[in-house]
Every structure is written in C-alpha cells, then in structure tokens.
C-alpha cells in the first residue's frame, strides 16, 4: 500500500509542478486571466461578431473560449505546450465552439497573424520574445491592428492606452511602419 501512495503523491506533485511551472519554460508563468480582465481585453480590442482574435500563448484556452462565447468572435489560440493544446481542444468540443475557436500547437513567432483584428499577448519581457514578436506584428499585421499585452510592455512601442496591467497598442500606418522598422 505504501508504494502505491508514494507513486500517487509523486504523480500529483509532478502534475501540480507541470501545471504551474511549465509556462516558464515556454514564455510566461501560469496566471489565469480573470473574467474582468477578459472583458477589458475584449473592450480594448473592440471584439464583436466576426472579429478575428488571436491569443498568443493561449494556455488552457480561457481567453479564446470566453471571447468566442460572449462576443461571437472567431478566435485562434497559439500555444506551444501540447498538453494545454489537448486540453483546449477538448474544451472547444465540449462547449460546441468548433466553428468559432481553434488552437494551433506552435511557437507564436512561427504563425502568421495577417488576418487578425485583435491580438492578446501574455508573455514575458525577460527574453527577446517580445521584441521579436513586435517586429513580426509590424511586418505582418495590417495598419491599426489592435494588440493588448498583459503586464509586460513592448520595448520601443508606446501603448495608446493602459488599463490596470493591460496595455493597448496599435500597429502603425504604412509610413510610420517604415520608420519604425528602420530604427
């Protein structure tokens, strides 16, 4: 009986460690976005039926599921962690949101977001990922695409608005984009 209990306790500890610490491996720790913060993000991004919303580092899918349920926007989650992708795909089917929501198992720097009307980012600035992401967003997204970052600011990009820990950015117009790329 004792070995079985030890195995179960070890398995539980490993699951908890993975659940809370795996995000640090991929770019940000685990922090579930509150319903209030989700509503603020949706308002800042002006999400509505037909909007194309991208969540970079979508975790367990809370943001994309809630946004699609409440605002009927088309949501794409990009998540590198295979277990979180699996979990999110199950939730999409369970909530019958297959036509509105999808999750891609990929690095957020390798997926095109040309069609995005709004983008949500909760990644760390401790690595160069935010800088690389800013360059990719500037290159791919249409002018005036809205981007909201949770807690971490983009270096060299001034937010147009801040609400609590949420920072709203707008991709520049074409001429401003050329200037931003050259600096």
Tell me the per-residue pLDDT of 69-85, one tens digit each, with 9 for 90 and over: 999 999 999 999 999 99
* Average pLDDT of the residues of the chain: 86
Q: Which residue is it, tokens 């909530």?
A: 95
Q: CB within 8 A of 143, min separation 6: which ones? A: 171, 172, 173, 174, 177
Predicted local distance difference test score (pLDDT) of residue 178: 43
What mean pLDDT is predicted for residues 167-174?
91
Predicted local distance difference test score (pLDDT) of residue 22: 52
Predicted local distance difference test score (pLDDT) of residue 88: 97
What mean pLDDT is predicted for residues 48-59?
95
Query: pLDDT grade, residue 10 (50/70/90)?
Result: low
Query: pLDDT grade, residue 11 (50/70/90)?
Result: low
Q: Which two tokens stand for residue 47?
A: 């999400």
Phi-psi region of 164 (alpha: psi -120 to 50; beta: other; left: phi over 0): left
> b vs e for 104-143, b when ≥16 Cβ sit within 10 Å of the residue's Cβ?
beeebeeeebeebbbbbbbbbeeeebbeebbebbbeebee
Q: In CATH, which of 3.40.640.10, 3.40.50.150, 3.30.70.600, 3.40.605.10 is domain 2-182?
A: 3.40.50.150
* Tens-digit pLDDT profile for residues 97-130: 999 999 999 998 999 999 999 999 988 766 688 8
Q: Where are the domains of the chain?
A: 2-182
Is the per-residue pLDDT at 152 higher than 60?
A: yes
Predicted local distance difference test score (pLDDT) of residue 173: 85
More confident: 17 or 115: 115
């Amino acid at each position: 009986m004792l070995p079985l209990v030890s195995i179960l306790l070890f398995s539980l500890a490993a699951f908890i460690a993975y659940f809370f610490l795996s995000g640090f491996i991929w770019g940000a720790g685990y922090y579930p976005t509150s319903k209030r913060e989700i509503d603020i993000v949706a308002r800042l991004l002006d999400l509505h039926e037909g909007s194309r919303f991208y969540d970079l580092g979508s975790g367990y899918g809370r943001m994309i599921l809630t946004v699609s349920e409440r605002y009927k926007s088309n949501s794409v989650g990009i998540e590198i962690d295979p277990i979180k992708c699996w979990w999110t795909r199950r939730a999409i089917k369970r909530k019958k949101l297959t036509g509105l929501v999808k999750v891609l198992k990929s690095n957020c720097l390798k997926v095109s977001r040309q069609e995005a009307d709004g983008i949500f980012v909760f990644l760390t600035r401790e690595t160069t990922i935010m800088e690389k992401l800013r360059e990719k967003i500037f290159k791919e997204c249409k002018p005036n695409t809205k981007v909201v970052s949770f807690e971490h600011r983009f270096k060299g990009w001034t937010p147009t608005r801040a609400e609590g820990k949420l920072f709203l950015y707008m991709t520049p117009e074409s001429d401003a984009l050329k200037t931003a790329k050259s600096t």
